[in-house]
Amino acid sequence: MDDIQLSSIFVAMVRSAPVLIFAALGGLFAERSGIVDISLEGKILASAFASACVAYATQNPWFGVLAGIVVSCLLALLHGFVCIQQRGNQLVSGMAINISVSGLTFVLAQFFFQQGGRTPPLDEGRFQALNIPGSQAVADVPVVGWLLRELVGGHTILVYLAFLAVPLVHWVVNHTRFGLRLRAVGDNPHAADTAGISVASTRYLALLAGGVLCGLSGAYLAIVQTGFFLADMSAGNGFLALAALVFGSWRAVHTTLGCLMFAFFSALQIQLEGVVLPGIGKVPGSLIQMIPYIVTVIILAGFMAKSVAPKAIGVPFVKSR
Amino acid sequence: MNPHNLPGWATNLLLPILNLISAMLVAGVVIYALGESPTESLGILVNSAFLNPEGLGYTLFYATTFIFTGLAVAFALHAGLFNIGGEGQMYIGGLGMALVVLNMDAAWSPWLVIPLAILMSTLFGAAWAFLPGYLQAKRGSHIVVTTIMFNFIAASLMNYIIVSLLIPVGQQSTSSRQFAEATWLPRLNEWLPVLGQTPVNISFVLALAALGLYALVMWRTSWGYGVSTVGLNPYAAHYAGISIKGTIIGVMAVSGALAGMAAVNSQMGSSHNLGLNFTAGAGFIGIAVALMGRNHPIGILLSAVLFGGLIQGGFDLSLEKSNIPPETFVFIQGLIILFCGAMENLYAPALSALLNSYKKRSAV
């Protein structure tokens, strides 16, 4: 048991959660407006690629983040065009975006860098970790020192932005005019339309907000977590974010708790790899990897809590009906 | 389904072709941007995928898998269910098949092992799809998210089973031991030597039979009629006395069985072992095949052959043009799904206007 350190699991959890938090909050906007967004995965991957390329070329992480957001928003607009203008199948559109991006990013990365679908390390193009003032002074104090230096401090700015986004999204969705319209359009677009709210423009705005957040998610993945782009590096994070949404009943704070749970399990899996537990023996990492997915299935089935989706989700809006 | 009052031939033939051309145009732009000639690339692609018998053999080999995964998606779509889980169902189906062969190939006659292995692949695939179907019907959980989760669970589970249990001691590659040669499926080149050394095997015939059976079930049986009714109008189906829950569970099980059978072609027909990630995205390609084939058996056959040709031709193309790696065709698959599936009616208004103006003119 000595090999497992709960403290380092928590630190790893905080470091890996932002990818999920940004993406899940992005999906929250889209889905609360009534549009199923399984293209989260593709948006994360496209943004990771764009931000890694630009951060590498300019050696400035901020330009990388900006490029990631722009590309992710363009994909959000494409998804919007299909789902809002064309009234196409939202699931199929999302699948198509995921598959296209997975192929295209590899091809472009190979074309630009000739390194088997990855970019060179970003070096200066990465964010610096921020330290909380005074954390050096208390470094030797047992719990407080660890808390300030590793758990709360010592992260890059995007980590703080992810955790700040949670109350912000909660406030926007529940306490602003836009949020009210968003919920109305997602629950009953016909009533919203009768009340003079434009369903189409509300949904486009929601998708764009989702695009910005997914852009941040991908940028965090490439610029902060790994420091380079790798083919298919989103590795199911978009789908996990979607599962977190279901877990959290499409509410910002609960969804974030779901993200933290998933991040905790992935940190636990890395820690448990090859460790012999008393009475159980070696637990294979691939079996621990399954836990979040199984938990999601159980929650989906309503065995733990009932998840309530926006009522009009997945239904294209046709004004005349 | 068709708000633009287009005749059947326009909806089922002209629109898919227009959408396919659009996808190819976007792909052509990307190939041009990579510094290669789109027309020359298309020539190489068509030539190596369809015009020589050996290439065609490989195309049909890939198409066999896609017919099964495409049928799996199409069948579920009839009942209004979007089965994204073909990948996991095929993977688990392969496990069921491999368990039979690995345990029995030494002692039993291949005449017993092969049918039993195929049966087990359908049973394992069906079981893996039964659970999401059951959860949707009885617990109201959404089939799309559940099947996505089941894909991930299958991937982790198979990773554990193959790496920890099935790799023989001392072997480097991540796959089980080779199956005994007697259980390898006969290849079609034994009867048609012109196909050369290609892995297309008798499961292609099975796939054609499955297409025929699918047509028969959907158009000639009351169960198939019930499935379509549930998909088109569940309230009417319920009123007519059809059990919606039973239909959903049954359809998902059959869909999973078809996806599970896709494993037979690649494993017993070609690789002859159970390898890590042997599905190679075939479950997702099945979505594209079903959408482009508009759930019609002939459409599914044609689009499966088209996607098989894209894989085979794309592979040859990437050998000749280093700027066009095989992943380019993952991108093109995505484009085809986007144009043929999500934006299927993109050209319908324009086409409808065109046809109407023509009709008016000929009436005058």
Residue-wise pLDDT for A187-242, tens only, equals 999 999 999 999 999 999 999 999 999 999 999 999 999 889 998 898 889 988 98
Q: Which residues contact B88 (CB under 8 A, 6 or more apart)?
A: B128, B147, B150, B151, B152, B153, B154, B155, B283
Cα Dmax for chain A = 68
- Give the Cα separation of B209 and B213 in Å (integer): 6
CB atoms B323 and A111 under 8 Å: yes
- Amino acid code (one letter) for A3: D
- Give the Cα separation of A211 and A26 in Å (integer): 7
Q: Has residue B253 got a pLDDT over 50?
A: yes
The radius of gyration of chain A from alpha carbons, rounded to an integer in Å, stands at 20
Tens-digit pLDDT profile for residues B187-222 = 887 788 877 788 888 899 999 999 999 999 999 999
Interface test with B, best of A102, A107, A294 (most B CBs within 10 A): A107
Interface test with A, best of B81, B84, B138, B141 (most A CBs within 10 A): B141
% residues pLDDT > 70 (chain B): 99
Please give the pLDDT value at position A304.
62
CA dihedral A72→A75→A79→A81, nearest 10 degrees, is 120
Name the H helices within A195-251. Answer: 199-219, 237-247
- Give the Cα separation of B257 and B64 in Å (integer): 15
Count of Cβ atoms closer than 10 Å to residue A276 Cβ: 11
Tens-digit pLDDT profile for residues A109-139 = 999 998 888 888 887 778 877 777 766 677 6
Nearest to A96 among B140, B148, B338 (CB): B338
Name the 3-class secondary structure at A276: strand
Which chain A residue's Cα is nearest to B135?
A: A301
Please give the pLDDT value at position B364.
65
Q: Phi and psi of A118, rounded to 5°?
A: -130, 165
Nearest-Cα distance to chain A for B135, in Å, is 6
User: Which residues on chain B are in Cβ contact (under 8 Å) with A117?
Assistant: 327
Tens-digit pLDDT profile for residues B323-340 = 889 889 889 989 988 998
Tens-digit pLDDT profile for residues B128-182 = 999 999 999 988 888 888 998 999 999 999 999 998 888 888 777 888 888 888 8
For chain A positions 118-147, those within 8 Å of chain B (CB to CB) are none
Tens-digit pLDDT profile for residues B37-86 = 999 999 999 999 999 888 999 999 999 999 999 999 999 999 989 899 99
Higher pLDDT, residue A299 or A313: A313
Tokens of A67: 């490029």
Please give the pLDDT value at position A41.
94
Nearest-Cα distance to chain B for A203, in Å, is 18
Name the 3-class secondary structure at A10: helix
Please give the pLDDT value at position B141.
81
| DSSP-assigned letter for residue A155 | B
- Give the Cα separation of A39 and A91 in Å (integer): 8
Please give the pLDDT value at position A191.
92
Which element (helix H / strand E) includes A277? strand A276-277
CB atoms B159 and A286 under 8 Å: yes
DSSP calls for A35-63 = ---TTHHHHHHHHHHHHHHHHHHHS-HHH
C-alpha to C-alpha distances, B306 to A116, B11, B203, B311, B325, nearest whole angstrom: 27, 19, 18, 9, 19
Please give the pLDDT value at position B75.
95
Count of Cβ atoms closer than 10 Å to residue B213 Cβ: 13
Name the 3-class secondary structure at B187: strand
Segment A159-176 shows an average pLDDT of 95
Q: Has residue A153 got a pLDDT over 80?
A: no
Q: Has residue A294 got a pLDDT over 70?
A: yes
Check CB contact of A106 with chain B, cutoff 8 Å: yes
Mean pLDDT of chain B: 89
Mean pLDDT of chain A: 87
DSSP calls for B310-330 = HHHHHHHHHHH-TTS-TTHHH
Check CB contact of A225 with chain B, cutoff 8 Å: no
ipTM, 2 dp: 0.87
* HSE-CB of B123 using CA atoms within 13 angstroms: 11
| DSSP-assigned letter for residue A282 | E
Sign for the CA dihedral angle at B302, B308, B310, B313 comes to negative
For chain A positions 153-172, those within 8 Å of chain B (CB to CB) are none
Q: How far is CA B70 from the centre of its chain?
A: 3
Would you say A207 and A35 are in contact if contact means Cβ atoms under 8 Å apart? Answer: yes
CB atoms A91 and B291 under 8 Å: no
Which chain B residue's Cα is nearest to A286?
A: B156
Nearest to B337 among A99, A287, A309 (CB): A99
Tokens of B151: 């894909």
Tokens of A73: 């928003």
Segment B306-311 shows an average pLDDT of 92
Q: Which residues contact A307 (CB under 8 A, 6 or more apart)?
A: A246, A247, A248, A249, A250, A299, A300
Check CB contact of A305 with chain B, cutoff 8 Å: no
Would you say A68 and A219 are in contact if contact means Cβ atoms under 8 Å apart? Answer: yes
Name the 3-class secondary structure at B275: strand
CB atoms A289 and B342 under 8 Å: no
Interface test with A, best of B149, B163, B174, B322 (most A CBs within 10 A): B149
Higher pLDDT, residue A259 or B13: A259
- Give the Cα separation of A202 and A206 in Å (integer): 6
Interface test with A, best of B327, B329, B340 (most A CBs within 10 A): B327
CB atoms B341 and A110 under 8 Å: no
Higher pLDDT, residue A270 or B316: B316
Please give the pLDDT value at position A1.
45
Would you say A220 and A233 are in contact if contact means Cβ atoms under 8 Å apart? Answer: no
Tens-digit pLDDT profile for residues B259-283 = 999 999 988 888 888 988 898 889 9
CB atoms B160 and A284 under 8 Å: yes
Burial class (CB in 10 A: 0-12, 13-18, 19+), B169: exposed
Q: Has residue A93 got a pLDDT over 60?
A: yes
CB–CB contacts below 8 A, A to B: 147
What do you get for the CA distance between the two ends of chain B, in Å? 31
Tokens of B318: 């990437």
Q: Which residues contact A104 (CB under 8 A, 6 or more apart)?
A: A46, B30, B331, B334
Would you say A39 and A94 are in contact if contact means Cβ atoms under 8 Å apart? Answer: yes
Would you say B183 and B114 are in contact if contact means Cβ atoms under 8 Å apart? Answer: yes
Please give the pLDDT value at position B1.
44
**What is the reported pTM?**
0.89
- Give the Cα separation of A93 and A77 in Å (integer): 12
Which chain A residue's Cα is nearest to B165?
A: A284
Please give the pLDDT value at position A134.
67
